[in-house]
Structure 1
Amino acid sequence: MTAAMDPQRRGQLLGIKLRALVGDHVGRAVEAEPVPLLGGSALVDADVAWVLVDGDASRLLGASLAWAIRHGASALNVVADVGGGTVARRAEMFDFPINVWFPQVRTLLPTVAEPLPERRSASMDNPDLIEMITNSGAVVNVEHGTIAGEVRGLEICRIVDQPTVGFFAELSNGIVPASSSNGALDRGDGVRLEVGVGAADREAFQMLHGDLPTAEALMSVVATVITHRSASARQHPLNRLGVERYLRWEAEQDPSRVGLASLRSAEPPAPRPNLKDPIPCVAAGSTADDQAVHVVFSSGVDLDAVPFVADVQRMVGTPVRLAVPTRDLVPVTREMAELLLKPIELIALD
């Protein structure tokens, strides 16, 4: 078995690679010393920032752009093997020179911007399952062809068209007693309601309830989530997940928090990859004079929130606002927001 490379040594090699790629591209020696960034490497040459991403770059445009801004660069070049198409698409929405490249040996090839994922419609031909979700006290949420039930922004169930092996296998930690498939209602036609806190990549909490029928299990989960998912609740896995969606839920209850008269959840530009990682979410609303507005909610210092907004701007034709907790609204987020071709309003949530 080959031993894993020492991270420091790998960082040095990535720096050497980046300097060689940039040198060959500009046709001269590059004297700038590379520094570690994003698990890859970065340097500034002739007032231009270069970032070599080691891995998936799809959610790293913000961090790359923040680094370029902080180092006084007048342009940014991102070199990535994976995820460059997403970066290139988002880069088109900024009033700042951003180029994205794919490394082919020692040649840099321009990366083509990928379009937004095609939006899938969900089949609503499951009124019995949808009714069960609503009767439990959960809210039906439809995103990219998936019908799920949410409680205060946290997914607790979803309708699937086939059993999902291991859907609730990870992160159980005894939050709710576990059981077998008794917590899922299968109608016999392959369509079933799976109960539990989960996400599309099957990383989820085990939240099935013994021998309870699905309806009772679902109501029990709703009650458990409500207990832990409130502003006054103690720290708990159920309130650490999907904080941005909890913020959206709060704003739906009181749209004036984001300066609107009405607000409802809306689909994001792309499917949410998993539950554990914080990913901004979207809501659609209107002002008191009935002007349509979209709001992006983010939590934590998410440097990729503004590039996410860029995708939302491409998806919708309305003004877009970015709402984040006051403590998370850092100066570099404001600076990146000012670089968007279409201006946005920043909202600090108390």
Structure 2
Amino acid sequence: MSAAMDPQRRGQLLGIKLRALVSDHVGRVIEAEPVPLLGGSALVDADAAWVLVDDDACRLLGASLAWAIRHGATALNVVADAGGGTVARRAEMFNFPINVWFSEDRTLLPTVAEPLPERRSASMDNPDLIEMITNSGAAVNVEHGTIAGEVRGLEICRIVDQPTVGFFAELSDVVMPAAPMDGAFDGGEGVRLEVGVGAADREAFQMLHGDLPTAEALTSVVATVITHRSAAARQHPLNRLGAERYLRWEAEQDPGRVGLASLASVEPPTPRPNLKDPIPCVAAGATHDDQAVHVVFSSGVDLDAIPFVADVQRLVGTPVWLAVPARDLVPVTRDMAELLLNPIELIALD
């Protein structure tokens, strides 16, 4: 359905579509009035919630489940033509009936759960570029085959094997790449280090347009990010972006904040789609009695944090905790956590 359509009219049509799909599926006319939800529509019939997602449903299981339990439903049905495989996989980790469907004309068919993506190893064949990252003061972070440099949880550069036409460029104003300044930028055979910080404030990137050598420019970026990325710093795009990764960085410096003896970042169960959207992140650690745990960090009221935890639980064989700022640990998060097959510990960060 066209996103350019008037939102009210679009919502009405989606409600009509949902009621027709559910009526045909259950074999009777649905009397419940649909309500707008997630850019789609939702209704409750016979204690079962039905949610029609008009967009990619990958990160919408949490919002659908939250709506269902807040409306007294005892089961959830999600209808999605995109991203349903991810929703179905995560749904398997809940002790709550969740069915995922896709529509073929007016018939609802069950969606098959997609497996987690295969783990990709990163090539470490460019030690000069990796050394440039570490010498600048950034930390090397490897996730799903990608080598990046991070400063206090914020990605400021990554090693790529072709000119940027996707990851950085697709973010437009959010991420701005630096042009190569000298030979140190090039790792050979098309491999290069691209510098870019995720933020909307263009003034923060003026340093990237000068004639500094790459190594010097990268060091300057690190210094600028550190200035803005601290608990005491004033609000700035550089400390609003990737807030969950900043929380993880803080906990790595002081694992006692989450009640652990040690903690180190690890890659998430699925690749991060971009830098601008808040996506939970993961760390692996050990308690003071040497029990292995994984900690998921989230910031803001992210309704999909618990489904993300479900993916982590599927991936690892250790207990999983969820750490969020105390102000963001809302009742619905606790309610959804209690529906997981495997209980988790919730950590409220001061």
Shorter-chain TM-score: what band? over 0.9
Instruction: Determine the C-alpha separation between the residues in 1 that align with 2:13 and 2:58.
Output: 22
Instruction: Determine the C-alpha separation between the residues in 1 that align with 2:343 and 2:23.
Output: 36
Question: Which residue number corresponds to residue 170 of structure 1?
Answer: 172
Instruction: Determine the C-alpha separation between the residues in 1 that align with 2:60 and 2:88.
Output: 11
Instruction: Determine the C-alpha separation between the residues in 2 that align with 1:92 and 1:277.
Output: 25
For the Cα contact (< 8 Å) 2:178–2:195, is it kept in 1? no
- SS of the residue aligned with 1:134? helix
Q: CA deviation at 1:209?
A: 4.5
Aligned-partner residue type, residue 180 of structure 2: S
TM-score (norm 2): 0.94
For the Cα contact (< 8 Å) 2:143–2:271, is it kept in 1? yes
Question: Which residue number corresponds to residue 216 of structure 1?
Answer: 216
Any idea what the Cα deviations from partners look like across 1:234-279, whole Å, max 9, x if unmatched? 1111001000000000000000111100000000011100111000
Question: Which residue number corresponds to residue 5 of structure 1?
Answer: 5
Structure 1 pair 3–325 and aligned structure 2 pair: CA distance change class (3 A):
closer
- SS of the residue aligned with 1:208? helix
For the Cα contact (< 8 Å) 2:34–2:43, is it kept in 1? yes
Question: Which residue number corresponds to residue 161 of structure 2?
Answer: 161
For the Cα contact (< 8 Å) 2:207–2:220, is it kept in 1? no
Any idea what the Cα deviations from partners look like across 1:198-245, whole Å, max 9, x if unmatched? 59xxxx978624111111011000000000000010111100100000
Instruction: Determine the C-alpha separation between the residues in 1 that align with 2:207 and 2:115.
Output: 37
Q: CA deviation at 1:29?
A: 0.9
Alignment of 1:143-292 (within 5 A): 143-165=143-165, 167=168, 170-171=172-173, 180-182=179-181, 185-197=185-197, 208-292=208-292
Structure 1 pair 212–7 and aligned structure 2 pair: CA distance change class (3 A):
same
Instruction: Determine the C-alpha separation between the residues in 2 that align with 1:219 and 1:4.
Output: 44
Aligned-partner residue type, residue 341 of structure 2: L
For the Cα contact (< 8 Å) 2:174–2:276, is it kept in 1? no
Instruction: Determine the C-alpha separation between the residues in 2 that align with 1:124 and 1:141.
Output: 12
Instruction: Determine the C-alpha separation between the residues in 2 that align with 1:196 and 1:6.
Output: 36
Structure 1 pair 33–101 and aligned structure 2 pair: CA distance change class (3 A):
same
Structure 1 pair 172–86 and aligned structure 2 pair: CA distance change class (3 A):
closer
- SS of the residue aligned with 1:112? coil
For the Cα contact (< 8 Å) 1:171–1:205, is it kept in 2? no
Question: Which residue number corresponds to residue 298 of structure 1?
Answer: 298
Structure 1 unaligned segments of length 5 or more: list them. Answer: none
Instruction: Determine the C-alpha separation between the residues in 1 that align with 2:320 and 2:34.
Output: 36
Instruction: Determine the C-alpha separation between the residues in 1 that align with 2:3 and 2:285.
Output: 53
Instruction: Determine the C-alpha separation between the residues in 1 that align with 2:3 and 2:314.
Output: 44
Aligned residues: 342
Question: Which residue number corresponds to residue 127 of structure 1?
Answer: 127
Alignment of 1:33-72 (within 5 A): 33-72=33-72
Instruction: Determine the C-alpha separation between the residues in 2 that align with 1:114 and 1:87.
Output: 9
For the Cα contact (< 8 Å) 1:138–1:149, is it kept in 2? yes
Alignment of 1:68-107 (within 5 A): 68-107=68-107
Q: CA deviation at 1:187?
A: 3.3
TM-score (norm 1): 0.94
Instruction: Determine the C-alpha separation between the residues in 1 that align with 2:234 and 2:3.
Output: 42
Aligned-partner residue type, residue 173 of structure 2: L
For the Cα contact (< 8 Å) 1:133–1:140, is it kept in 2? yes
Any idea what the Cα deviations from partners look like across 1:29-81, whole Å, max 9, x if unmatched? 11101000001000000000000001101100000000000000000000001
Instruction: Determine the C-alpha separation between the residues in 2 that align with 1:311 and 1:24.
Output: 33
Instruction: Determine the C-alpha separation between the residues in 2 that align with 1:286 and 1:181.
Output: 41
Q: CA deviation at 1:121?
A: 0.2
Question: Which residue number corresponds to residue 342 of structure 1?
Answer: 342
Question: Which residue number corresponds to residue 19 of structure 1?
Answer: 19
For the Cα contact (< 8 Å) 1:196–1:206, is it kept in 2? no
Question: Which residue number corresponds to residue 112 of structure 2?
Answer: 112
For the Cα contact (< 8 Å) 2:120–2:145, is it kept in 1? yes
Q: Percent identity?
A: 87
Instruction: Determine the C-alpha separation between the residues in 2 that align with 1:309 and 1:101.
Output: 22
For the Cα contact (< 8 Å) 1:179–1:210, is it kept in 2? no
Segments ≥4 residues shifted beyond 4 Å: 204-207
For the Cα contact (< 8 Å) 2:174–2:198, is it kept in 1? no
Deviates more, 1:6-15 or 1:305-314: 6-15
Structure 2 unaligned segments of length 5 or more: list them. Answer: none
- SS of the residue aligned with 2:93? coil
Relative to total residues, which structure has the larger helix share, 1 or 2?
2
Instruction: Determine the C-alpha separation between the residues in 2 that align with 1:305 and 1:206.
Output: 35
